[in-house]
Amino acid sequence: MAQRRMFSKEITTSDLFVEMPSSSRLLYYDLGMEADDEGFIGNARMLSRAYGASSDDLKLLATKGFIIMFPNGVTVVKDWNLNNKIRKDRQKPTIYTEEKSLLTLDSKGSYLINNQMSAVCQPIDNQMSAQDRIGKESLGKESIGYNVEENFIFPDYLSEKTIESIKKGNPKNFNFRIPIAYLNQVTGKNFQFVEKSMNLIKARLKDGFVLDDFKKVIDIKFNEWSNTDMAKYIRPETLFGNKFDGYLNQMALPSKQGSQEYCDDLPF
């Protein structure tokens, strides 16, 4: 079996992927490293526990369509062939031939469930089955025919009030609204989900940042700037602009120290 694994940015930088909790994203990488040369894993539940992930992380990966789980526990990474290109002469065939026979490949090489599968594989723990979502979602795009409001997993650092404020808008834009909503939660302000702020968030996500990075930047700058003359700059256009990476990687300072030095390098 090959000892190296790869992951396509087409998958790992898609909106569908980055909106998941970090624990679910990490589990996807762990499963990718443990899969055989054709993307199959025989003990995904055990591995998820061994790597410190929860059963919800595994369910979320299945619900979002990043993995396909069979009733007997065998699991396959749906986009395995997009991630990995293994030479045929070096590829060790999977031992899960029966499960593989229930799958087909689309034009990109992603595993799809064939007609035989629909009668064999039922939704796991009442989650939406992979068959239900094939053709309804595409990676890197917002959901089509998918009720995000019912299935979206909100970060646990958001209060119920904050979550309700997010749900009042377009359900397809939850991941773009979360940083603004969390900023309101921390500061007590009422920044709106305006296009200018949303575009900044979309740009940072496209750069490869994730939602947890926005939380970290907000926490760092609020701790540093609140109760100082810099407090007026705790706003989306400053925090989520082209200095985002610098804010993310700076050392957090007690708020009393302020940051006049950093102020001189602000984008305004």
For 94-104, what is each residue's pLDDT tens digit?
999 988 888 88
For 40-68, what is each residue's pLDDT tens digit?
999 898 888 888 888 888 889 988 889 99
Average confidence (pLDDT) over 237-255: 82
- Give the separation between CA 27 and CA 16, rounded to whole angstroms: 15
Q: What is the pTM of this model?
A: 0.45
- Give the separation between CA 186 and CA 76, rounded to whole angstroms: 40
Residues whose CB is less than 8 angstroms from the CB of residue 131 and which lie 6 or more positions away in sequence, other chains included: 113, 117, 118, 121
Residues whose CB is less than 8 angstroms from the CB of residue 3 and which lie 6 or more positions away in sequence, other chains included: none
Q: What is the per-residue pLDDT for 253? A: 54
Q: What is the per-residue pLDDT for 151? A: 53
Answer left, alpha or beta for residue 112, where phi above 0 means left and psi between -120 and 50 means alpha: beta
Packing angle between helix 195-206 and helix 174-187, nearest 10 degrees?
A: 110
Q: Which residues is 104 bridged to in the sheet?
A: 112
Q: Are 145 and 121 in contact (CB under 8 A)?
A: no
